[in-house]
Amino acid sequence: MAQQTKLSTTHLGGTGLEITRVGLGAWAIGGTGYEFAWGAQDDDESLAAIERALDLGVNWIDTAAVYGLGHSEEVVGRALAGRRDRPYVFTKASLLDGGGGRVTHSLKRDSIRREVDASLARLGLDAIDLYQVHWPDPESDIEEGWATFAELKEEGLVRHIGVSNFDVGQMRRIQSIAPVETLQPPYSLVERGVEGSILPFAEREGIGVIVYSPMGSGLLTGAMTRDRIAHLPDDDWRKRGDQFTEPRLSRNLALVDRLRAIAERHDTTPGAVAVAWTLRNPAVDGAITGFRRPDQVDPILAAASLDLSDEDVVTINGAG
């Protein structure tokens, strides 16, 4: 497969940031120790994967304080240390260590301010390029949380502010406090709920959109089988995930077979096809893709320039 020499870019809403269509997601590299973990990870492999992605032109990394309870941000900080061509760094707040591996939620002002200070320290940054509310929970506190985010932007601790997992009503509620600059929703061939109202709203409002889990958390890569799922570590949340168990699993594996047929047509991988499918939506600016090893990087970056035809989409949808 030919190496990607230049990744296509686009503007992230009205932020002024020009981002590559594919970004690096650092959820999985957080490692184990909490309820949304992907099992133990090799930090050296994670660092090599980040270096490979950046060397190939990826210009943004998305992480969160809760990933590995701070460990993901620490790994990202190590990868950035001393690097001259620093990518944009996006991270999130509102999920906290609840003890015993459980995660709790807080949108209280004091809590968010503690989180941003800790994230800046772990990442080794003076300012975060994009700071996002991870979840609108507790929903009664989203105004307090968003007002705090606006304060952080005014103070220069963060450059841009956005939300993740918000619906249209929640975004409308907070827009009078400060404009919602970006949205990060789940979006993939197995998670299409945002197509109805959320993505159209973001497009109308000029809100930048970066989607997470475009490969269905690894389900659509072509490497996931029933046997592999059965042998996932017990601390990998996917082992119990709805999309990875019946009755949905059989349908999803059939979808992967169709993606594999399209991938052969374009000399690429099923995962790249899945990511490219999300990028066809006019509301979507970028897709977050998780790399845990350097060998995973090159095949997925092909999605940034993969132009799926209408015929491809018909096949993907199971109508061809």
> Which residues does the annotation mark as catalytic?
67
**Is 30 in contact with 67 (CB distance < 8 Å)?**
yes
**Is 268 in contact with 299 (CB distance < 8 Å)?**
yes
**Is 301 in contact with 7 (CB distance < 8 Å)?**
yes
Based on the number of CB atoms within 10 Å of its own CB, is 163 exposed (0-12), middle (13-18) or buried (19 or more)? buried
Q: What are the Cα distances from residue 159, in Å, to 17, 109, 181, 202, 297?
A: 10, 18, 11, 20, 28
How far is the C-alpha of 275 from the C-alpha of 281, rounded, in Å? Answer: 11
How far is the C-alpha of 261 from the C-alpha of 272, rounded, in Å? Answer: 12
User: Quick check: helix, strand or coil at residue 299?
Assistant: helix
